[in-house]
Amino acid sequence: MSVDKSKDYKQQLKDEIIQLKKEKDAVILAHYYQQGEIQDVADFIGDSLALAQIARKLKEKTIVLCGVHFMGETAKILCPDKTVLIPDINAGCSLADSCDPVEFKKFIEDNPGHTVISYVNTSADIKAMTDVVVTSSNAKNIVDQFPEDEKIIFGPDKNLGNYINSITGRKMLLWNGACHVHEQFSVDKLIELKKQYPDAEVLAHPECKKPLLLLADVVGSTAALLKHSIESDCKQFIVATESGILHEMKKSSPEKEFIPLPGEDSTCGCNDCNFMKLNTLEKLRDCLKNGYPEIEVDVDIALKAVKPIERMLEMSK
């Protein structure tokens, strides 16, 4: 009988991770875009809002954030006394990188009298000059809580900003940033897939461009799309967000079919975030073992950045 060595190896890694977690008093949080095997070994999985909400309530002294850097920073800012580890310190975010703190500060100074709302996909420096942080889960709800005539700067995602403007009737001033994964979803390929699967519902993340969102049946955060896929009577879904979410969608509804929408120049038929996928089981094991790489945030910046994050959590209740 042939032995599946790779399966044995993966199981061995998972066993080591579970053992190390106990030894180090650590807890693993994973975003829905992580590799399935990381999601399977995590204590909690969620979208960026859920991960921030969970981080604040944990008792363990170490948090391993399997996601990208800004998610680790958010956890560290909310839990400054804890050690926050990330399996790969290079797991960045093109959207967060599209907002340079010096230029964003100038944008704010050039437009005085505006409330600054920033998407959570930003560096701690940007959060420190923000009035309230939002995620794709709560952006509409939080924007709706401001008076209709409130002048608002929204950054850095122009697609999410445009979408919120369109559903709220606001005219928020938008920073010109975007996510390289969601921007490259192809409308042509979506039209082809809609012909192939005429009964399928189209689920899209609001970081996608407007022409694509106009073709979607449901627009929402990863958690909202997952929830819809579970609750809907529909049996097929075309999914326009990072393909990691399909793991939990398939697990939650094994009888349903999930079709990842390919990007414009995607050859794999899916849409991976190269940053999210830098984290691996091996790196997760190593970071638990070594206590490194660790997320560090400048104390003065963290003291400023915590206010708009706490305000978000308060306004999301």
Task: Name the site residues for ligand 13P (rule: CB under 6 A).
Answer: 47-48, 121, 135-137, 179, 205, 207, 221-222
* Least Å from the CB of residue 94 to ligand SF4: 4
DSSP 148: T
Give the residue closest to ligand 13P by C-beta.
47
75 contributes a contact to ligand SF4 by CB under 6 A: no
- Comparison of 58 and 245: residue with beta carbon closer to ligand SF4: 245
Three-class SS string for 84-114? EECCCCCCCCHHHHCCCHHHHHHHHHHCCCC
Choose the one of ligand SF4, ligand 13P, none that binds residue 62, judging by a C-beta under 5 to 8 angstroms depending on kind: none
* Least Å from the CB of residue 21 to ligand 13P: 23
Q: Which of 45, 68, 117, 240 binds ligand SF4 (CB under 6 A)?
A: 68
* Least Å from the CB of residue 183 to ligand SF4: 9
Residue 73: in which H helix or E strand, if any?
Answer: helix 69-78
SS3 of 161, please? helix
Choose the one of ligand 13P, ligand SF4, none that binds residue 275, judging by a C-beta under 5 to 8 angstroms depending on kind: ligand SF4
Q: Which two tokens stand for residue 131?
A: 């009035």
- Comparison of 53 and 83: residue with beta carbon closer to ligand 13P: 53
SS3 of 223, please? helix
Which phi and psi (to 5°) does residue 267 adopt? -100, -20
What mask, x for binding ligand SF4 by CB under 6 A, covers residues 244 to 283? -----------------------------x-xx-------
Q: Which two tokens stand for residue 2?
A: 């042939």
Contact (CB, 8 A) for 50 and 292? no
- Comparison of 10 and 180: residue with beta carbon closer to ligand 13P: 180
Give the C-alpha separation, 173 to 114, whole Å: 9
